[in-house]
Amino acid sequence: MKKVPILVIRNTLIICIQNDLTDTAILELQNDILDKTYKTRVNGVIIDISSLDMIDVFLGKVISDTTKMVRLLGAQAILVGMKPNIAITLIELGFEMPNVKTAIDVDNGLKILNKYEKYNATKVLEVTELSGED
């Protein structure tokens, strides 16, 4: 069975899901993500699906559930890197993942997660700059 590597960078877990995992392997991966989130005390989880060329209802549900579970643990989860062909197929299947946060790629995912963390600090900076231009 394939092992999916889980990286920890800047207080964030990054998981790159690979093609052709069996349903059992996918459920094990979900477990691993949750255990690792709990144990490493990260506050962000990025699920990178840029290597996937198909998401069926089963995989889609596990991904969507995982982001909900991560939130209950107390971290933010973001899905990144979905290809257009997959987005088309998922919407045609009737599977919208309405409550799942998304970003274009890992980099943007990291930026969004950092924003959540630094939100107040950056907001103050921003306003200060504006006033300087006045």
24 vs 131, beta carbon nearer its own copies: 131
Residues across the chain: 134
Q: Which residue has the tokens 């599977």?
A: 95
Our finding on whether 59 is near its own copies (CB under 8 A) is no
Among 81, 93, 110, 113, binds its own copies (CB under 8 A): 81
Would you state the structure tokens that stand for residue 129, as one six-digit string?
């700059």
Question: Which residue blocks in the chain are alpha helix, DSSP H?
Answer: 23-40, 57-73, 84-93, 106-133
Binding site partner of 8, from its own copies, other proteins, none, Cβ cut-off 5-8 A by kind: none
Site map (CB under 8 A) of its own copies, residues 84-123, x = contact: x-xxx-xx----xxxx--xxxx--xx-----x--xxx-xx
Our finding on whether 12 is near its own copies (CB under 8 A) is no
Contact 70, 101 (CB under 8 A): no
| CA dihedral (51, 10, 69, 67) positive or negative | negative
| CA dihedral (71, 76, 80, 84) positive or negative | positive
Binding site partner of 73, from its own copies, other proteins, none, Cβ cut-off 5-8 A by kind: its own copies
Among 14, 52, 80, 113, binds its own copies (CB under 8 A): 80
Our finding on whether 62 is near its own copies (CB under 8 A) is no
Contact 90, 60 (CB under 8 A): yes
Q: Contact positions toward its own copies, by CB under 8 A?
A: 30-31, 34-35, 37-38, 41-43, 65, 68-75, 79-84, 86-88, 90-91, 96-99, 102-105, 108-109, 115, 118-120, 122-134
